[in-house]
Structure 1
């Protein structure tokens, strides 16, 4: 009851605030620095006054913005160590002298602050790969662009984050034009913070986090590459700037609503339906504030275009660095030979459906009438004790419960990326069993490595990746929409797919492998992402 009252009160506050903002021209207030700010800064720099608490907390962002527009190295104006605007500048004599001169002038360099809102920018996953490739492309597009990274990774420094990006993704930047704005309220968008009413709790949390970002430094362009849309109205009302969104998956979708409607009728389910439908209504309303909407796949784009009908949506496939994978064989010092093995490249999480793969593989083993059976290998990272226990459960299920011989099944955890690339180029098949995988970067890695994909017939793998008859699809009776999709698509089970690929000869495999590599290069390369990001986003918002 307390949670309901809290949420209702928060909603009332948000609604009243938005009405107030419609009546006030606050965007000029947040962008405009206080009167005589240059005199105050000069006096503090030259030691005429104490440089602590020169400005009100809600004006610090506008002053930081002015300093960034003038800066030689924008890293000097991050709030990494302190929120004080003078401390970091005093450590860089070159920046200090430059600021003394430029603050005496009335002219401000024509630069653009491009703000990327990505609270988990140091996570190292596919979403972060999109972020940092977009940053690299944006900085290369125009030397007058400064990139702001709004992040909650307060346990790392900006230089540490950029070093991780270099090691993980091999992207290179002009780091003097990247300024990190660290946010302290990131925990408010963590699902663990909201054990009940998670959707609306995270939505309210993202609003607070968005406002914190704006107050710490208002940008000229707001780009959300992680998926926190409920802050967009606040960005619009407070700043009146273009809003760009890259959506990996919808916060709530028609699939979720349909799935709930098929559950047994009860008071709890009826209440949940009302809650979700009201939430969807407001989610649809947010489309009014978006300038450019981009998505990661056809499946996501189909859902988002039906939700945000007010704006045109564009598909920009994630950058998958397929150029590097395709060239791995040429750059390898040894000759790579493909073995009769099928790999599953996925994080060890239940939604990746490892148990289903093991079960279907066991059925296939029992029905096989020949000796040349592909070995099944799971490859993935373990992030926690929970993941490691999940791996042990899979081993017990395979070896003890289903009696799969150890020579036919293996699990490899936490392999270095070079070893993963070698496994891609020395295997024959790649399996993905996730239902409604929004995109499927692992499947792209399969085809870039010349593997024959065996994938679930849904979402990204079905509509975007495994095309031109380059692979094999399957469905499973445990799929939430199995009855509808099976009647339309007619795909068999994973066991059936195993049997089907067993009849491929070497010529067939080579032909499919060559087609797969061509698709990987033409659709999912980093260069392809560059071109689309420039055409769809940068050329339109940077005038």
Structure 2
């Protein structure tokens, strides 16, 4: 076969694929939202059979049109939340309230409506972390924005039901949600996006898993808008192909970043190491796929300047993204310490971080140990309190390793160090309100919600000089003008770097001290200086990171959705 014929065959195949995709794009969305044949007749007949016993639940099976049937029932329903798939799976039942109002329900079935289905794709919606706080505040804001908005939560938390999840949201985040307009769609294939499922080629495996999971979600019920608040970009082309609906993203962290590529490239012996080169090519190819996926996004939002810069560089074919800082409930934290006397705070330094290696607890402990050994005035030494959650037995073992390192290897006196695992939120707040310093040692923490919590609680942050804490959170603040300042004297906290940082050589070591030296510096701060820094931090955190500020920004996203035809991100 000649080269010309090979090229012709390839071009012909590509053309056939493009034509097929075009046909699928026009066909599949109608498949997912078009009404099943005789849906009104079948629904009415089922209701009539149950008319003498309204407690009898009619369950219908429309086969491959179950997703569109559920959608139609939801849009005509008096209480959309009744149409979860928790009990009947793919089959669709008719809820009690709609059985009572049979005639009006059948009359509204399939009719035009002002209602909109906002599909939030968040397979771990019950995790209770910062990402889930963003999800539920976005849901609360969306429901408040219009009575016609209905929120679908696609989740893999099959071990609980919807009411359990909402009760957890209320207890953890204190958000009051209109549960009647929240539909939980439970997904069975969440294990496909878990890293442990893919011990090799993890990124590729999770990308594949997210595609399968998104197809499962769409086949349960198709929304009017796809809102990804967790970060599964490889689902976007599939959602566009299958549903042809606007895609909104809230990105906490790029799936792959230029930092990752550069860090790999800077490893010793990179040019002579075949495995490293192969990994680099793999990651680079993945980056190109990530860039392609981003081209399907209609409205993008990110959590910080660091994330914005990376997403903009990757999704360069699009327009600008919105920086929407996560809702940090700074109003509540500031109100909680309003009546406390700052001068009565204890000489304590707090670390709030999950117990896992990337939070760099070992660096904190070794720096603290060095500080203790170099400090003659023992009354200047703060008590260090490490607070964090443990997700599994591996994390629990990590805590035990840290204790052995701290008390055994470093010989830190027990009076100066305390570990608190899985500390309750109320207890954590009491510790925050009674302490002076908060430490965050993670390198390139994309945002750093714990740092915001420090500032809102009146603590003085001691942070690694990178990403979210450096660019967005611990910034100079003018309390009189209530805005960010360029005056370094109006500091809201302190920064450090360490020789273990991947980018240490690129940092100005004359500008930033080590954490050990920073301990010495802050321990000598007078009470009046501490109070001034603390007050500036509280004002800054309230102005930038409150739930009210997030709500204002998310409402802008919702407004853009109403004029989606005019939206062209990043261009």
**Fold in common (TM above 0.5):** yes
Range moving further from structure 2, 39-48 or 168-177:
39-48
Q: Is the 8 A contact 2:342 2:531 kept in 1?
A: no
In structure 1, what is the Cα distance between the partners aligned to 2:387 and 2:520? Answer: 22
Give the 5 Å matches for 1:281-430.
Answer: 281-309=288-316, 310-330=318-338, 337-372=344-379, 373-430=381-438
Q: Is the 8 A contact 1:450 1:516 kept in 2?
A: yes
Alpha-carbon distance change, 335 to 524 in structure 1, aligned in 2, over 3 angstroms: closer
Partner of 1:21: 21
Partner of 2:66: 60
Range moving further from structure 2, 23-32 or 452-461:
23-32
Alpha-carbon distance change, 182 to 191 in structure 1, aligned in 2, over 3 angstroms: same
Aligned: 1:443 with 2:451: yes
Q: Paired residue for 1:533, among 549, 554, 567?
A: 554
Aligned: 1:505 with 2:513: no
In structure 1, what is the Cα distance between the partners aligned to 2:74 and 2:339? Answer: 42
> What's the offset of the Cα at 1:18?
7.6
Gaps of 5+ in 1: 1-13
In structure 2, what is the Cα distance between the partners aligned to 1:65 and 1:145? Answer: 14
In structure 2, what is the Cα distance between the partners aligned to 1:341 and 1:45? Answer: 66
Aligned: 1:130 with 2:134: yes
Partner of 2:48: 46
Partner of 1:96: 99
Aligned: 1:175 with 2:179: yes
Query: Residue 202 of structure 1 aligns to a residue in which SS?
Result: helix
Aligned: 1:83 with 2:89: yes
In the superposition, the TM-score normalised over structure 2's length comes to: 0.88
Q: Is the 8 A contact 1:40 1:54 kept in 2?
A: no
Partner of 2:32: 30
Q: Is the 8 A contact 2:137 2:327 kept in 1?
A: yes
Alpha-carbon distance change, 428 to 15 in structure 1, aligned in 2, over 3 angstroms: farther
In structure 1, what is the Cα distance between the partners aligned to 2:327 and 2:547? Answer: 5
Partner of 1:142: 146
> What's the offset of the Cα at 1:259?
1.1
In structure 1, what is the Cα distance between the partners aligned to 2:323 and 2:512? Answer: 27
Alpha-carbon distance change, 19 to 134 in structure 1, aligned in 2, over 3 angstroms: farther
Aligned: 1:71 with 2:74: no
Partner of 2:10: none
In structure 1, what is the Cα distance between the partners aligned to 2:342 and 2:289? Answer: 57
Aligned: 1:257 with 2:278: no
Range moving further from structure 2, 350-359 or 381-390:
381-390
Alpha-carbon distance change, 17 to 200 in structure 1, aligned in 2, over 3 angstroms: farther
Q: Is the 8 A contact 1:248 1:295 kept in 2?
A: yes
Gaps of 5+ in 2: 1-13, 52-56, 477-490, 564-571
In structure 1, what is the Cα distance between the partners aligned to 2:225 and 2:296? Answer: 13
Aligned: 1:116 with 2:116: no
In the superposition, the TM-score normalised over structure 1's length comes to: 0.93
Q: Is the 8 A contact 1:296 1:315 kept in 2?
A: yes
Q: Is the 8 A contact 1:70 1:99 kept in 2?
A: no
> What's the offset of the Cα at 1:21?
2.8
Q: Is the 8 A contact 2:347 2:382 kept in 1?
A: yes
In structure 2, what is the Cα distance between the partners aligned to 1:167 and 1:187? Answer: 27
Q: Paired residue for 2:472, among 464, 479, 485?
A: 464
Partner of 1:221: 225
Query: Residue 103 of structure 1 aligns to a residue in which SS?
Result: helix
In structure 2, what is the Cα distance between the partners aligned to 1:166 and 1:48? Answer: 36
Aligned: 1:197 with 2:218: no
In structure 1, what is the Cα distance between the partners aligned to 2:59 and 2:105? Answer: 21
Q: Is the 8 A contact 1:117 1:226 kept in 2?
A: yes
Q: How many residues align?
A: 524
Aligned: 1:166 with 2:163: no
